[in-house]
Amino acid sequence: MPAARTISIALSCALLALVAGLWLGGHPESLPEPLRSAFVDEEAAARAELIETIEENFYEEVDEEALEQASLKGIVQSLDDRFSQYFTPEETEALQQSLQGEFDGVGMTVDAGDRGLVVVSVFEDSPAEGAGIRPEDVITRVNGRSIAGVPLELATARIKGEAGTDVTLTVLRPDSGDRRTVKVERARIVVPITEGEIRRVDGVELGVVELSSFSSGAHGQLRQEIERLLEEGAKGLVLDLRDNGGGLLQEGVLVASIFIEDGEVVSTDGRTKPERVFEARGDAIDEDIPVVVLVNRGTASASEIVAGALRDRERAIVAGTRTFGKGVFQEIEQLDNGGALDLTVGQYFLPDGDNLTENGIRPAVRARDLPRTERDEALPIALETLRDEL
């Protein structure tokens, strides 16, 4: 896209966001109904007029749909909340797939970075693995478009697409500075939500179970894996929540309920949302089975709820490094145009009353993995801590 067109569209979007900001900041709900309706109608008319003027007079042909979507994103961006986002219809479909635990993509988990998407893990036998992509690589461009500064969900949505189609990725290898471009064929990816194994420490068998996300049904899969490990003789459990960025709040409550029989797991409160207390659902595993929760900087949201609840209820020891610190929650509202609004509507609080915004959870036991080595340095510390609990 020519630079002049890019700048013009960016300015247009800024103007549209300003118009929307007047609506959001002006509190038209305080006006009488006839005046409120007129106010909203006037703002909608102004936006439509602005888009129409650009479409008719801009020196190059423009995409009216792209302008409309950009203006909707501008409204949400005016809130200055990094967690609230507007998703286009296409992005909404990709988001729904990710929450279901399967999607069409290349098979890797990523996190936001300054230069693009930082690869956290690559699924075994996935297209990404076949293309030689590995953890710590940075995806800087998707189909030739830079994704530096692009929100995480939008950047990942650009990589996802229909199985059998190709996506071109520019991959930077930080340790060497090498940059290469690879064409990867998308496939149906089933996210490995949980995996477990038995580790022997000082002659004692201990279970290690990793949970990668809190997508729909995650608690059921985790429960099955935990019961398998216990049947195989595990005397204690390490729940590995490293790089688990969260997901559905309800799944977080259900996962915590695997370990906590009753009582509070988390509470929520918001400006327009009444305070609500979420309690454990019962049928927890034997409370005499010791548990260590392993976390790191990539542990966020629902993961922090679980780790914090097990800590506050004295059900587990938390090991690792300080977590992300996401103490707010969002609700997704489906829109008539097929898109969705993911809006921050409140804060959540752990059983002891803490809100984790910015501070996160500080583990009782320090355990840090060195990402540039093949060995997992943090897990042995968590296992030793668990062994000491026995």
Query: Exactly one of 240, 312, 342, 369 is catalytic; which is it?
Result: 312
Query: Exactly one of 301, 303, 342, 369 is catalytic; which is it?
Result: 301
Give buried/exposed letters for 258-281 (b at 16+ CB in 10 A, else e). Answer: bbbeeebbbbbebeeeeeeebebb
SS3 state at 180: strand
Place of tokens 């690589």: 137
Residue 326 designated active-site: yes
Element (H or E) spanning 172, and its range?
A: strand 166-173
The total of other beta-carbon atoms located within 10 Å of residue 376's CB is 16
Rounded (10°) angle between helices 3-26 and 64-77: 50
Q: For residue 20, what are its two tokens?
A: 């929307």
Query: Exactly one of 212, 213, 215, 326 is catalytic; which is it?
Result: 326
- Contacting residues for 220 by C-beta, under 8 A, at least 6 apart: none
Residue 301 designated active-site: yes
Query: Phi and psi (nearest 5°) for 79?
Result: -75, -15
* The residue type at 160: K
Give buried/exposed letters for 108-135 (b at 16+ CB in 10 A, else e). Answer: bbbebbeebbbbbbbbeebbbeebebee
- Contacting residues for 49 by C-beta, under 8 A, at least 6 apart: none
Residue 160 designated active-site: no
Q: For residue 376, what are its two tokens?
A: 């997992």
Active site residues: 301, 312, 326
